[in-house]
């Protein structure tokens, strides 16, 4: 039998039944796969559906559905190449891809590249993604941000994308049985170079746009901070394995929490840069000095530099340069110390030619440079 059809029938069975019902059906059919499990929750959902799909015909499928009416059908039914199930539960032994193709064309005709980008973004994320994951992927596709808050709900009546997950943690899902045909149609759209005149213009209120920008910035900063925390952990593990069990960085959960916060003005920047330099100052200087010649050397960055010079002489110098300029942003400006022209030099290092800078943008760039140093440091010590 056609493998493609068997796999789609398995997807259909997964849509109609959860594991407990599949287990019951599989046992009744005497399928060996199910005999190895004492309880239904031990079976793999897809594998269980696939084992049943291999053993039954279309007529047997209809008999199974009649005997075991589905309790709930998610994602608006089922619209595959070989099978269709309506929202009311009516099953048909015929495909619905012509309908899906038509609906994809409607999206492209009404929304042009934006419609293409939303569909492609969800496919790129494996068919299921959170709102902000979709936004991030759209920006990669279009090369600019786009807020799909009006478009996403309009894809549900077209059977293309559905809001799933919990109310608190929602995401958006493209039914797996339609992904191949949607992928094919949007690939044709991209390949043809055809660009529709956008029929439906979306109106986004200033309040919604501002909220989006704030949430987007918050997500970006949090993502960088999470990666920083992970890289510090990885460096500590490597360091402990190579240098007598010592950690390079001291733990500082409060500072990690503080660098996750957004920065909207100069006062907030002062607070954020203080937290970040606390992490730099938190290098385990006392233990690190055991591995350098100059025991009288002071300053966490100085000690780290001496250590790298003696043990990893080919290290990337940006590790230290980034750290020094971050410290300068804290120490050469009020309120930590009196204002100093070296602060302007540090700004220029991070790509800011004017004072005052965009404090929020500066904070993001500084975090990225700190993360860059961690990545370079990890690469250096693990070689």
What is the DSSP secondary-structure string of 236-281?
Answer: HHHHHHHTTT--SB---HHHHHHHTS---SHHHHHHHHHHHHHHHH
Two tokens, residue 129 = 């993604």
Q: Which pLDDT value is given to residue 213?
A: 67
pTM higher than the cut 0.85 = no
Token look-up 């019951």 returns 24
Give me Rg for the CA atoms of the chain.
28
The helix-helix angle for 45-55 and 3-16 (nearest 10°) equals: 120
Strand duo 128-129 + 84-85: pairing: unpaired
Between vectors from CA 287 to CA 281 and to CA 289, what angle results, nearest 5°? 85
Q: Are 129 and 163 in contact (CB under 8 A)?
A: no
Two tokens, residue 135 = 């936004």
Q: Are 33 and 51 in contact (CB under 8 A)?
A: yes
> What dihedral do alpha carbons 182, 185, 186, 191 form, nearest 10°?
150
Q: What percent of the chain is modeled with pLDDT above 90?
A: 65
DSSP 185-228: HHHHHHHHT--PPP-SPPP--HHHHHHHHHHHHHHHHHHHHHHH
Predicted confidence (pLDDT) per residue in 217-262, tens digit: 777 888 999 999 999 999 999 999 998 888 999 999 999 999 998 8
State how far Cα 303 lies from the chain centre. 37
Predicted confidence (pLDDT) per residue in 14-51, tens digit: 999 999 999 999 999 999 999 999 899 999 999 999 99
CA distances 67 to 16, 34, 60, 85, 122, Å, are: 13, 19, 10, 16, 36
Q: Which pLDDT value is given to residue 199?
A: 46
Which residue blocks in 125-205 are alpha helix, DSSP H? 131-142, 151-154, 179-192
Mean pLDDT estimate for the chain: 89
Q: Which pLDDT value is given to residue 330?
A: 85
Two tokens, residue 114 = 């934006």
Q: Which pLDDT value is given to residue 333?
A: 66
Give the chain's residues under pLDDT 50: 199-200
Whole-angstrom Cα distance, residue 62 to residue 291?
74
If we measure between CA atoms, which residue out of 22, 87, 86 comes closest to residue 51?
Answer: 22
Between vectors from CA 34 to CA 61 and to CA 179, what angle results, nearest 5°? 50
- Report the phi/psi class of residue 77: left, alpha or beta, with left for phi > 0 and alpha for psi in -120 to 50: left
Q: Which pLDDT value is given to residue 55?
A: 94
Which backbone phi and psi does 29 adopt, to 5 degrees? Answer: -85, -5
State how far Cα 25 lies from the chain centre. 37
If we measure between CA atoms, which residue out of 225, 230, 320, 214 comes closest to residue 275?
Answer: 225
Q: Are 343 and 366 in contact (CB under 8 A)?
A: no
Cβ-proximal residues to 96 (8 Å cutoff; 6+ apart), any chain: 79, 80, 84
Whole-angstrom Cα distance, residue 365 to residue 383?
27
């Amino acid at each position: 039998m056609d493998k493609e059809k068997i796999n789609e029938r398995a997807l259909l069975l997964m849509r109609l039944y959860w594991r407990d019902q599949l287990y019951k059906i599989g046992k009744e059919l005497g399928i060996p796969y199910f005999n190895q499990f004492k309880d239904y929750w031990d079976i793999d959902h897809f594998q269980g559906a696939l084992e049943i799909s291999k053993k039954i015909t279309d007529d047997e499928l209809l008999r199974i559905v009649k005997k075991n009416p589905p309790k709930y059908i998610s994602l608006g039914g089922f619209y595959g190449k070989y099978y269709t199930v309506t929202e009311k539960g009516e099953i048909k032994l015929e495909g619905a891809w012509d309908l899906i193709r038509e609906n994809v064309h409607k999206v492209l005709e009404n929304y042009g590249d934006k419609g293409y980008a939303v569909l492609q973004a969800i496919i790129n994320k494996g068919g299921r993604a959170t709102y902000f994951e979709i936004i991030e992927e759209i920006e990669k596709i279009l090369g600019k941000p786009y807020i799909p808050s009006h478009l996403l709900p309009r894809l549900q009546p077209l059977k293309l994308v559905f809001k799933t997950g919990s109310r608190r943690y929602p995401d958006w899902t493209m039914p797996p049985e339609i992904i191949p045909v949607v992928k094919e149609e949007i690939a044709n759209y991209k390949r043809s170079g055809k660009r529709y005149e956008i029929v439906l213009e979306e109106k986004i209120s200033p309040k919604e746009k501002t909220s989006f920008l704030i949430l987007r910035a918050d997500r970006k900063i949090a993502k960088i901070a999470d990666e920083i925390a992970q890289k510090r952990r990885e460096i500590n593990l490597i360091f402990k394995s190579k240098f007598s069990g010592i950690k390079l960085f001291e733990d500082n959960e409060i500072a990690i929490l503080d660098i996750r916060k957004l920065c909207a003005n100069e006062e907030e920047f002062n607070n954020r840069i203080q937290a970040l330099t606390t992490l730099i100052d938190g290098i385990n200087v006392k233990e690190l000095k055991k591995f350098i010649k100059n025991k009288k050397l002071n300053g966490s960055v100085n000690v780290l530099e001496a250590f790298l010079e003696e043990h990893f002489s080919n290290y990337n110098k940006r590790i230290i340069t980034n750290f020094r300029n971050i410290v300068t942003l804290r120490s050469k400006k009020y309120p930590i110390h009196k204002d100093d022209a070296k602060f302007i030099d540090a700004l220029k290092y991070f790509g800011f030619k004017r004072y005052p800078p965009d404090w929020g943008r500066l904070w993001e760039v500084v975090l990225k440079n700190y993360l860059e140093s961690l990545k370079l440091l990890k690469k250096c010590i693990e070689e």
